[in-house]
Structure 1
Amino acid sequence: MKGSPSPRVPAEERGGCPRLSRWALLIPVLIFKACITCGCLVILHKQSLKAHKLPETFPEWRCALGTPGSKEGVWTCCPMGWKPFQATCYFLSSDSMSWDESEKNCMGMGSHLVVINTQAEQDFLLNWTKDIFSSRQSYFIGLSAQEVEAQWRWVDQTPYNKTAAFWIPGEPRIPKREKCTALQVHSRTQARQNWNDIPCSTSLNRICEAAAAFI
């Protein structure tokens, strides 16, 4: 009847089942703590990471807690199929292309040809590539010579540091014709000095790198 007071709704009904809400919040917390305790790796999908502004070119990511170089309690994430080292993710191709095509391919994945800044990074790449192939293999890296002879430049504009370069003894020899750089790996040797200048049109495998994501 119009004007008659509406029946009072019990507090539990007005609140929308508060017990269920508490469990809905508690269960994910318990799962997350269990994952940390076990030290497990988790696979996160693009939808769950979108809020952290990660690139959207990869549908899945692999994350680890306590990756060297990351802050305590922070998860370091790389796309599936990429390998983490410190705060960077690396991709090793199984197909071969010219240097220009290799850089375009890396850029299409939101990365660039690898820029090697330290001896630790050089050693990491050497050990990783040696473990994959049983014979000699070459990979393009992001170093090329400009128009002026011997003016080497990294793809991300990092200044070229001659003292932090890892050329094969006697290289580079002909920067005017061999303007691109390859990292040469042989499974039977441990030589750290393994950069070689070659023609950019050569078809080689490649190493791409991108900054890791942190959550």
Structure 2
Amino acid sequence: MALEITYAEVKFKDTLLPVEAKAPPEKSTPQREPCKPKLWVPWLVSALLLLLCVALIITLIVILHKGHGLPETFPEWRCALGTPGSKEQFWTCCPMGWKPFRANCYYLSSDSMSWDESEKNCTGMGSHLVVINTQAEQDFLLSWTKTIFSSRRSYFIGLSAQEVEAQWCWVDQTPYNKTATFWKPGEPSSPKTEQCTSFQVHSRTQARQNWNDVPCSTSLNRICEAAAAFI
């Protein structure tokens, strides 16, 4: 039996070929001109810096004149950045002619007078005769006084004895601590007749123990002390 071959007529519909999409024409981006600094900006920055400087100066003047220990009669001050022994940064200020140490300012006189007159002189400058509280302060004063004068010299300090009890007292009411004193060997020898204390300096000796009791009427130089000003 012969195989019959069947033919089927197949018609294909016309298919549309995809049309390639055309991108929209690129719009030309106008180039921006470089920004020009405004003329008033530098003037504004300069004015702000000037105002800041003026504010700092005014602050310094106000602080120095508000009872930080020294009166406003001093025309010139000297300030140094930093406080020895402190990690915080301050400007420590003392009058010209005074020497800073830690939080205080110190003055050495070139003239001499009695103990009472010496204390009045220091008080008139807004200070008092020096009160020595620590070994570091004693060493500082000893080293400083040796560089000022080459010969032997004695200074009144703010330690005196009461007439009746012969009890030693500091001018600022700091408690007297016998273990924190620097008397010469054998001193004080006569606290009932020699009721004031001198700080004796000799360029050839390095002895830390240099306090001596003397009559208060003795005419000596003096060391004044006042609190420094800080900003």
Do Structure 1 and Structure 2 share a fold, with TM-score over 0.5?
yes
The residue that corresponds to 1:128 in the other structure is 144
Alignment of structure 1 residues 123-202 onto 2, 5 Å: 123-202=139-218
Q: Which runs of 5+ in 1 are unaligned?
A: 1-16, 31-43
- Report SS of the residue matched to 1:95: coil
- Report SS of the residue matched to 2:159: strand
Cα offsets for 1:60-98 (capped at 9, x unmatched): 111000130445221111111000011110000000010
> Match of 1:159, as an amino acid?
P
Pick the structure with greater CA Rg.
2
Match of 2:131 among 102, 106, 115: 115
RMSD: 2.1
The residue that corresponds to 1:22 in the other structure is 45
Contact 2:138–2:208 (CA under 8 A) maintained in structure 1: yes
For 1:171 and 1:161, how far apart are their aligned partners in 2? 15
> Match of 2:228, as an amino acid?
A
Number of residue pairs matched? 185
1:48 Cα deviation from its structure 2 partner = 6.4
TM-score (norm 2): 0.75
Contact 2:83–2:89 (CA under 8 A) maintained in structure 1: no
Alignment of structure 1 residues 4-19 onto 2, 5 Å: none
For 1:28 and 1:85, how far apart are their aligned partners in 2? 32
- Percent of residue pairs identical: 80
> Match of 1:147, as an amino acid?
E
1:132 Cα deviation from its structure 2 partner = 1.0
For 1:213 and 1:71, how far apart are their aligned partners in 2? 17
Q: Greater CA deviation, 179-188 or 65-74?
A: 65-74
- Report SS of the residue matched to 2:223: strand
For 2:42 and 2:205, how far apart are their aligned partners in 1? 64
Contact 1:78–1:84 (CA under 8 A) maintained in structure 2: yes
TM-score (norm 1): 0.80
For 2:41 and 2:79, how far apart are their aligned partners in 1? 33
For 1:63 and 1:85, how far apart are their aligned partners in 2? 12
> Match of 2:61, as an amino acid?
K
- Report SS of the residue matched to 1:58: coil
Q: Which runs of 5+ in 2 are unaligned?
A: 1-39
Instruction: Please identify which structure carries the higher helix content.
Output: 1
Residues 23 and 89 of structure 1: CA distance in aligned 2, closer, same or farther (over 3 Å): same
Contact 1:166–1:193 (CA under 8 A) maintained in structure 2: yes
Contact 2:131–2:172 (CA under 8 A) maintained in structure 1: yes
> Match of 1:50, as an amino acid?
I
